Amino acid sequence: MSQFAASQNPFGPEGDSPMIVPERTSKMAISSLVCSLVCCIPVITGTLGVLLGIGALIRISSSRGRLSGRGLAIAGIVIGLLVTSAWVGGGVAASKTLNAFVSSGYSVASAAHSGDPALVRAKLSSSTTYTDEQIKAFSVQLNAKLGNLKPQPAGPLKAWDMYSRFFGSLSKGGAAQPAPGRFPGQQLQNEAPLAFDYDNGPALLLLSFDSGARSTATSGAGMFDGMLEDIAVLTIDGTVIRLSDMTVTDTPGSNPLPGSTPKKLSPSPTTPTTPARPSSEG
């Protein structure tokens, strides 16, 4: 068709276009659907898909039939809303779980710092056999090294800040000479780390779980109750203070001196074997 066939009336309205523009699919509608389906950036791509879909519907409605893609735009809006809702719901659930995890860890740190055997044993599994003296010695070491435990981090961002401060201190050479086989790789492979703040700086609480134990907690803040096999604290200078390393003096029933350095458990010495003498001839 010739471009002049679009308007045969020479007295038609002013501005009547003599051209016929072919219908095309709205790029904004396509972008809306793509953004909603990709979901590569949580919340953002879904929200962008919704906004692009709304914009595409507006442009399609005002295009006088020159743009198509209404179905694509509607699909982009619906999928974008679903994806965004899923991300938001998942984020809220993850935040609650993280808060409960941090609160439970903080209750363990508080119990260990207090030195109260009853509070510490509530966190330990029934298979552990730590004595009151070991628990009290553990508390003495924590208080002497770290000072007082500061308030619990309020929310996931504060908890993450604790990790950033701790590992930032390590990167500056705070743990130049760690104990062999104790820091940090083997610790983090087998123990759950939680960063908390103390008077003398951040430290990492390391929790060893008893695989056969079940939680005895009735609330989120006590999810570790009855689950732990060992408790340790890793400081920024590489010192590991561990409950299972605490020992008492050799006298049965005696208490460790306050502030004394706990002894490391060592294997029993073996009795050297005396070689047999060769028999004398004659």
Strand-pairing partners, residue 230, are 208
Q: What is the domain range of residue 225? A: 115-245
Q: Give the separation between CA 90 and CA 241, rounded to whole angstroms.
A: 37
**3-class DSSP assignment, residue 240:** strand
- Mean pLDDT, the chain, rounded, equals 74
Element (H, E) at 229: strand 228-234
148-189 pLDDT per residue, tens: 999 888 777 777 787 788 877 765 655 444 444 444 444 445
Contacts of 124 (CB under 8 A, 6+ apart): 130, 226, 228, 229, 231
The DSSP secondary structure of 203-215, one letter per residue, reads: EEEEEEE-TT---
Structural domain total, the chain = 2
Same domain for 222 and 123: yes
CB atoms within 10 A of CB 157: 9
Is 133 found in the same domain as 72? Answer: no
Whether cis (ω within 30° of 0) applies to the bond prior to 252 is: no
Q: What is the pLDDT of residues 112-156, one digit of tens each?
A: 999 999 999 999 998 999 999 999 999 999 999 999 999 888 777
In a domain, 207, yes or no: yes
Same domain, residue pair 82 and 119 = no
pTM for the whole thing? 0.61
Specify whether the CB–CB gap between 125 and 210 falls below 8 A: yes
> Is a pLDDT exceeding 70 seen at residue 190?
no
Domain boundary among 47, 73, 90: 90
Residues 6 or more apart whose Cβ sits within 8 Å of residue 245: 262, 264, 265
Q: In this predicted structure, what is the pLDDT of residue 194? A: 86
pLDDT above 50 for 86:
yes
